[in-house]
């Protein structure tokens, strides 16, 4: 258990000032985000705020990536909105609990390692798409409700004031680090702009104009749904998607923070922490959530590297809800909007634009598709899945073209086929075209020293080629099969018949490789 409490290990170097100030900045940025995501899901603001508190606190203590911030997210909100409309909030709580159980199982089964299969172009597309989503979501802050309650774009002096305050916030965040790093630039910008607005009585949009955040401690509440198979069938599909979306977004954020900090988080531990957090938040009136890339980047850019910042952010968020609502509701949305726009600018992988003329076209296509799916569908899991599938198909196609055979007849009249490249489902057709069964001599050797059999399609291809030579009355040897290929063939004997497997010089090959 010591690994969960390294925060209190005196040997761990923690900059407590950075951690506390960064946590306070994150807490301020969490308020409008949690409210907005709750509205997207069709839930009350406190449902999002409670989720931000419980998930943020638990993952900060138990998670596999110190410094990463978790809470209510738009990705989860988009998934559960249909269930909220059709069955109500109680089914949401039950869904979140079940999703947490699934996430814990994923961590226990060590499935977090599969995030390594996400190619770099997919990461580029994911990050760029998310940056665009963060930026576009801030445009809503430039709208106000008219007398009919409809959102309309700001005009005139109202728009000018909003733009000026947003620009001032961005200028402070950009320029202050060049002068001093004694205080996080994001926090300084929020305090400075808020001081100007409150001190001069400037009429502009505030947090209170969105919704009230006044509330108490998250109440413990067992989801009030029938404990029947019918209820399980209703919530299970949503829970599965919530669990998958949450883990994908969390693990991708973890990888991104790893790259920025040049350290390595623990994916499987993060899966368990996310699951535990969702179970708890489901019993404490929260909507569920996962890692938040925007808030995580705010935290990391402010210098936070330990668990303390996430704990401070969560605790301060609860303090805001219980005691500081009247003050927090006076904060101008311009300050928080400027902060999130700077986060979007910092999130975008600008270096990826320079690679467009240098990277393979398939990688560029993956970046663009993943970014577009992220922006227009707001479904990060689907975007990543599509990117991985495209990358995998391109990889398979490229490898399918690489299989080739060098042919010659030795002085004993035996024909040799030396195979180069992997034999798998994509290269089977090209492999079969290499052989001239009718015109080959009576003895043939297929040499796999520079090849390997990768899947069932490859095994079936070997079975068919041996059948063809056997029917032609010719003897075939399969030579230099690697140990894993030989094991594949042995495992397949109960399914298909591999007619001839001979390897007269296998020991020589082993000696040569040694």
Q: What percent of the chain has pLDDT over 90?
A: 43
Considering the domain boundaries, does residue 21 fall inside one?
yes
Task: Give tens-digit pLDDT for 61-74.
Answer: 999 999 999 999 88
- Structure tokens of 92? 């949401």
Same domain, 299 and 394: no
- Structure tokens of 498? 């591999």
Query: What φ, ψ does residue 180 adopt, rounded to 5°?
Result: -155, 150
Same domain, 123 and 49: yes
Closest CA to 346 of 314, 306, 300, 290: 300
Considering the domain boundaries, does residue 392 fall inside one?
yes
pLDDT exceeds cutoff 50 at 83: yes
pLDDT exceeds cutoff 70 at 505: no
Closest CA to 453 of 501, 388, 507, 505: 501
**Per-residue three-class SS string for 22-42:** HHHHHHHHHHHHHHHHHHHCC
End residue of a domain, out of 303, 326, 349: 326
Same domain, 18 and 102: yes
Mean pLDDT of 95-124: 89
Q: Give the residue, 321 or 513, on which the prediction is more confident.
A: 321
Same domain, 365 and 269: no
End residue of a domain, out of 326, 350, 379: 326
pLDDT of residue 107: 93
Weakest-pLDDT range from 156-170, 217-231, 446-460: 446-460
**Average pLDDT taken over every residue of the chain:** 86
Same domain, 406 and 500: yes
The three-class DSSP label of residue 404 is strand
Task: Give tens-digit pLDDT for 293-346.
Answer: 889 989 998 889 899 999 999 999 999 999 999 999 999 999 989 988 888 888
Same domain, 320 and 435: no
Chain centroid to CA 230: 31
Task: Give tens-digit pLDDT for 127-179.
Answer: 888 788 888 888 888 988 877 778 889 999 999 999 999 999 999 999 998 88
Give helix 308-322 / helix 293-301 axis angle, nearest 10°.
Answer: 110
Query: What sign has the CA pseudo-torsion 144, 147, 152, 154?
Result: negative
Considering the domain boundaries, does residue 173 fall inside one?
no
Weakest-pLDDT range from 238-247, 424-433, 452-461: 452-461
Same domain, 110 and 258: yes
Distance CA 52, CA 70 (A): 7
Mean pLDDT of 268-277: 95
Considering the domain boundaries, does residue 145 fall inside one?
no
pLDDT of residue 162: 95
- Give the domain range for residue 476: 402-513
Say how many domains are in the chain. Answer: 3
Same domain, 394 and 420: no
Same domain, 36 and 75: yes
Same domain, 219 and 293: yes
Same domain, 270 and 379: no
Same domain, 433 and 454: yes
480: Cα within 13 Å, side-chain hemisphere: 19
Its pTM stands at 0.77
Residue 4 in contact with residue 58, Cβ under 8 Å? no
pLDDT of residue 494: 54
Considering the domain boundaries, does residue 354 fall inside one?
no
Mean pLDDT of 224-246: 92
Considering the domain boundaries, does residue 425 fall inside one?
yes
Considering the domain boundaries, does residue 484 fall inside one?
yes
Strands 443-450 and 475-479: parallel
Considering the domain boundaries, does residue 261 fall inside one?
yes
Cα angle vertex 199, ends 195, 200, to 5°? 120
End residue of a domain, out of 399, 415, 450: 399
**Number of continuous H segments (helices) and E segments (strands) in the chain:** 21, 8
């Amino acid at each position: 258990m010591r690994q969960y409490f390294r925060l209190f290990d005196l040997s761990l170097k923690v900059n407590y000032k950075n951690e506390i100030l960064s946590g306070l900045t994150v807490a301020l940025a969490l308020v409008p985000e949690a409210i907005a995501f709750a509205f997207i899901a069709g839930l009350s603001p406190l449902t999002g705020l409670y989720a931000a508190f419980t998930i943020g606190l638990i993952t900060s203590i138990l998670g596999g990536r110190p410094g990463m911030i978790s809470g209510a997210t738009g990705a989860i909100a988009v998934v559960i909105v249909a269930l909220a409309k059709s069955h109500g909030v109680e089914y949401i709580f039950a869904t979140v609990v079940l999703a947490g159980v699934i996430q814990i199982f994923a961590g226990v089964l060590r499935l977090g390692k599969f995030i390594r299969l996400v190619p770099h172009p997919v990461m580029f597309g994911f990050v760029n798409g998310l940056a665009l989503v963060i930026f576009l979501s801030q445009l809503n802050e430039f709208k106000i409700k008219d007398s009919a309650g409809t959102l309309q774009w700001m005009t005139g002096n109202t728009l000018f004031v909003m733009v000026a305050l947003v620009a001032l916030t961005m200028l402070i965040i950009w320029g202050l680090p060049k002068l001093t790093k004694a205080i996080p630039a994001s926090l300084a910008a929020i305090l400075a702009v808020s001081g100007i607005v409150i001190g001069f009585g400037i009429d502009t949009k505030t947090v209170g104009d969105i919704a009230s955040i006044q509330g108490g401690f998250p109440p413990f509440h067992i989801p009030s749904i029938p404990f029947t198979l019918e209820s399980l069938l209703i919530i299970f599909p949503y829970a599965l998607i919530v669990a998958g979306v949450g883990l994908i977004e969390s693990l991708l954020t973890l990888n991104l923070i790893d790259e920025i900090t040049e350290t390595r988080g623990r994916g499987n531990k993060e899966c368990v922490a996310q699951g535990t957090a969702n179970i708890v938040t489901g019993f404490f009136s929260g909507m569920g959530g996962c890692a938040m890339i925007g808030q995580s980047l705010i935290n990391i850019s402010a210098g936070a590297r330990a668990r303390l910042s996430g704990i401070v952010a969560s605790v301060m968020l609860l303090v805001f809800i219980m005691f500081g609502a009247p003050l927090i509701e006076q904060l101008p949305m311009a300050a928080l909007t400027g902060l999130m726009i700077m986060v979007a600018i910092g999130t975008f992988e600008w270096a990826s634009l320079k690679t467009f003329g240098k990277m393979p076209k398939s990688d560029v296509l993956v970046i663009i598709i993943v970014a577009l799916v992220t922006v227009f569908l707001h479904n990060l899991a689907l975007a990543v899945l599509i990117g991985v599938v495209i990358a995998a198909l391109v990889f398979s196609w490229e490898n399918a073209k690489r299989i080739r055979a060098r042919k010659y007849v030795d002085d004993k009249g035996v024909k040799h086929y030396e195979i180069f490249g992997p034999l798998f489902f994509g290269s089977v057709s090209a492999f079969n075209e290499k052989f001239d069964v009718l015109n080959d001599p009576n003895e043939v050797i297929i040499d796999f020293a520079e090849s390997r059999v990768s899947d069932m399609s490859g095994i079936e291809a070997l079975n068919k080629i041996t059948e063809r030579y056997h029917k032609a009355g010719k003897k075939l040897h399969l030579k230099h099969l690697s140990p894993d290929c030989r094991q594949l063939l042995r495992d397949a004997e109960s399914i298909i018949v591999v007619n001839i497997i001979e390897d007269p010089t296998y020991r020589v090959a082993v000696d040569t490789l040694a």
